[in-house]
Amino acid sequence: MSDRDSPPEDLQPISDIDPLIHAPTRLKIMAYLSIVESADFTFLMRQTGLTRGNLSVNLRKLEEAGYVSITKEFVDRIPRTLIRLTNDGRQAIQEYRENMQTVLSELLRD
Amino acid sequence: MSQDQDFKRLQQKTYQSYHQDGLIDIIIGLAIIGFGLNIAFDNSAFLFMGWLPIVFYVPLKNRITVPRIGYVKFYASNKLVFGLVITGLLVFMAGLFVFVLLGPSIISDCMQDWLRQYYMLIIASIAALCFLSAGLLTGITRLYVYALLFVLIFSAGTYLEIHPAIYVLLTGSLIEAAGIWLMIVFLRKYQLPAEENAHE
């Protein structure tokens, strides 16, 4: 990245924010997954208020980024799609929180 | 640390959401009713029957709650703390009973009389502590109401010298009724999804 392309120093914390997580729908998904060990598709849909299609699309993006793992299992012969954060996903949401905290702190300092 | 608080609140909201079905209340209510019937008829079979529904908690959760609002697995550490609080208090209660009933030689007559007169208040305090701890941990606010219910009803019962079975059964019935009401509201609010879309 050339000097012209790199963000000004005061904007550096904002540019550190992961855009994949920063999208409201994916942030909701990541936030819910970060507080539980795992959840199924129905639970995430109810909690986030997303439609089935919207949740599927966003989960796929998070899975492609390696932030979530999706597994299917059978409970009493009923299929259950279990979603959980991977270690990378957990680290990403932690970094996102820290970066956001930094951004907000700097805004308050100004 | 406001972000941590927000995440903690989100976690509590998730707990509340998962336990809005009233299943816990129904099981706790039955256990207390069993305890009340045990006192009334002096038959410990009722105590066993009261705790029996706990065996059906997971199957019922899988049959009633999971198809409607989905499945979530909370962190083992949270469940461990919750379990330890409950187990610790139950062990303390059991120990107290053994101490009062089997250890008359260890404690003075005066102390024995005091314990026999006010043991229901001790049980109420422990139960209230149990509900308060669970409420603080999970954010399920109705547990605070149950804690208050125990203290108020048991204190009034002891003060008015009512037979313990009556106020234990009253407390259990109120919690049971709350559980059934919550279950009805839950079943009305969350209809079963259409079969073909039930599982992604």
ipTM: 0.77
Q: What is the model's pTM? A: 0.77
Average pLDDT of every residue of chain B: 82
CB of A47 within 8 Å of a chain B CB? The answer is yes
Contact residues on chain A for B73, CB-CB shorter than 8 A: 36-39
CB contact under 8 A, A46 and B75: no
Predicted local confidence at residue B25, as pLDDT: 92
Percent of residues, chain B, with pLDDT higher than 90: 24
Indicate if the pLDDT at residue B198 is higher than 50.
no
User: Tens of pLDDT along B6-35?
Assistant: 788 888 888 888 889 999 899 989 988 988
Predicted local confidence at residue B113, as pLDDT: 77
CB contact under 8 A, A40 and B14: no
Confidence band, pLDDT 50/70/90 cuts, at residue A1: very low
DSSP symbols for B124-191: HHHHHHHHHHHHHHH--THHHHHHHHHHHHHHHHHHTT--HHHHHHHHHHHHHHHHHHHHHHHHHHSP
Contact residues on chain A for B7, CB-CB shorter than 8 A: 31, 34-35
Give start and end residues of each alpha helix (H) in A1-110: 12-15, 19-22, 24-35, 41-48, 52-64, 87-109
Q: How far is A5 from chain B (nearest CA, A)?
A: 31
Confidence band, pLDDT 50/70/90 cuts, at residue A16: confident
CB contact under 8 A, A37 and B7: no
Q: How far is B160 from chain A (nearest CA, A)?
A: 47
Q: How far is A44 from chain B (nearest CA, A)?
A: 8
- Burial track B86-118 (b if 16+ CB lie within 10 A, e otherwise): eeebeeeeeeeeeebeeeeeeeeeeeeeeeeee
CB B36 within 8 A of CB B169: yes
